[in-house]
Amino acid sequence: MRNFFKGVRKRIGKLDAEQLREQYTLIADEADFLEKLFMANSEGIIVLDENGNAIKSNTAARELLGMDPAAVVENLAIPLGRASKREMTISYPDEKTLEMKTLPTKSATIVYLRDITAEKARTEEELRVGATKAVRDLAAGVAHEIANPLNAISLNLQLLQRVHPEEESLKTCREQVERLSDILHGFLQALRPSRPNLMPGSIAEPLKNCLAALEKQIEERRIAVTLDVPDAIPAVAIDKLQFEQVYFNLLKNSIEALHEGGIIDIDVRADDSDAIVTIRDNGEGMNEEQLVHLFEPYRTTKEKGTGLGLMVSARIVRDHGGTISAESKPGEGTAFTIRIPRLEKRIRALKG
């Protein structure tokens, strides 16, 4: 551009009227083009003369300030003739934060305005999330530190119990320590969600380990468990250990909701899109109020409950791309249904 003007300036004496008109048209077109760019710029731009009067401004500047920039530049305390950058808040036409940059030219100061309200809010949110995370990490660290000695206490209490099997106070101690340990583990799981380590597998397989771990409790309370698994079940992407945890939480809740001699039916099946597991008990059931808040942390109706089992389970299922739902009637029982997308479905979905 500059070279173009230089060239014209050099030869201007030699140009006839026709050539001058041609050059003039070129310049006018160029000015028109620049004017359009200037007006369409999403950044607000104001040009100030040496005295600080606004001699030119674009639409964005007017919109950001809510009125003709010429009328308000005085209040903006713009530093003339030097480069600067600062933030300011304005409350009209609505509350927002603007970034203002100035850039000096030979005879003017150009002011750039940009709305950074959303950007700023995002940064603040990020800081807040960061602080929350720090507190959570600290809490998880402390819980972890408590869990280890607690484990040792529990083991030693077990040994003492062997020597003094009739001692009631030892039994009470062990129960309390186990309760503390349950709370800590629930808390740790809730605080430290680990990403599932997904592998192709069967949704039914982790059930077996889990039932084995609960076998004693199930026997003691004379609960009947039926397990209905078809021979072939379509593969899903699954973290088996995490799913053992889910089944454990659900089955434990069922056991706790059942009277002696109750029934738990476990049904595994598949439809076109998902592998599905339903765990149904004929225990005490839940009312509507309980159902509305199900899966929320710290909601428990049990004297010794933590209210974390379902929340952790739901998160694991969600991390597998699946869903968990519950149906229940007071006095009749409860059914939890987990759906995980079939592996081939998942891959197809990824390919789009």
| Minimum CB distance to ligand ADP smaller for 153 or for 326 | 326
Contact of residue 334 among ligand ADP, Mg ion, none (CB under 5-8 Å per partner type): ligand ADP
- Which residues does 195 contact at the CB level (< 8 Å), separation at least 6? 319
The contact set with Mg ion (CB under 5 A) reads 253, 309
Of 280, 262, 263, 255, give the one whose Cα is nearest residue 337. Answer: 280
Least distance in angstroms from the C-beta of 332 to Mg ion: 20
- Dist. CA 143–CA 259, nearest whole Å: 33
Contact of residue 301 among Mg ion, ligand ADP, none (CB under 5-8 Å per partner type): ligand ADP
Least distance in angstroms from the C-beta of 316 to ligand ADP: 13
Tokens of 228: 């209905």
Least distance in angstroms from the C-beta of 306 to ligand ADP: 4
| Minimum CB distance to Mg ion smaller for 22 or for 175 | 175
Contact of residue 102 among Mg ion, ligand ADP, none (CB under 5-8 Å per partner type): none
| Minimum CB distance to Mg ion smaller for 201 or for 305 | 305
Least distance in angstroms from the C-beta of 284 to Mg ion: 13
Query: What ranges in the chain are assigned the alpha helix state H?
Result: 2-11, 17-40, 59-65, 69-72, 117-163, 168-191, 205-220, 240-257, 288-292, 309-319, 343-351
| Minimum CB distance to Mg ion smaller for 309 or for 341 | 309
Contact of residue 257 among Mg ion, ligand ADP, none (CB under 5-8 Å per partner type): ligand ADP
Contact of residue 287 among Mg ion, ligand ADP, none (CB under 5-8 Å per partner type): none
What residues form DSSP beta bridges with 228?
267
The contact set with ligand ADP (CB under 6 A) reads 249, 253-254, 257, 281, 283-286, 290, 299-302, 305-311, 334
Contact of residue 286 among ligand ADP, Mg ion, none (CB under 5-8 Å per partner type): ligand ADP
Least distance in angstroms from the C-beta of 269 to Mg ion: 25
Residue 65: exposure state from Cβ atoms within 10 A (0-12, 13-18, ≥19):
buried
Asked if 269 and 276 touch (Cβ cutoff 8 Å), the reply is yes
3-state secondary structure of 66: coil
- Dist. CA 54–CA 231, nearest whole Å: 81
Task: Classify the phi-psi angles of 287: left when phi > 0, otherwise alpha if psi is within -120 to 50, otherwise beta.
Answer: beta
| Minimum CB distance to ligand ADP smaller for 43 or for 267 | 267
Least distance in angstroms from the C-beta of 142 to ligand ADP: 21
Strands 96-104 and 109-115: antiparallel
**For helices 240-257 and 309-319, angle between their N-to-C axes, nearest 10 degrees:** 150
Contact of residue 306 among Mg ion, ligand ADP, none (CB under 5-8 Å per partner type): ligand ADP
| Minimum CB distance to ligand ADP smaller for 112 or for 295 | 295
Least distance in angstroms from the C-beta of 151 to Mg ion: 21
- Dist. CA 155–CA 178, nearest whole Å: 11
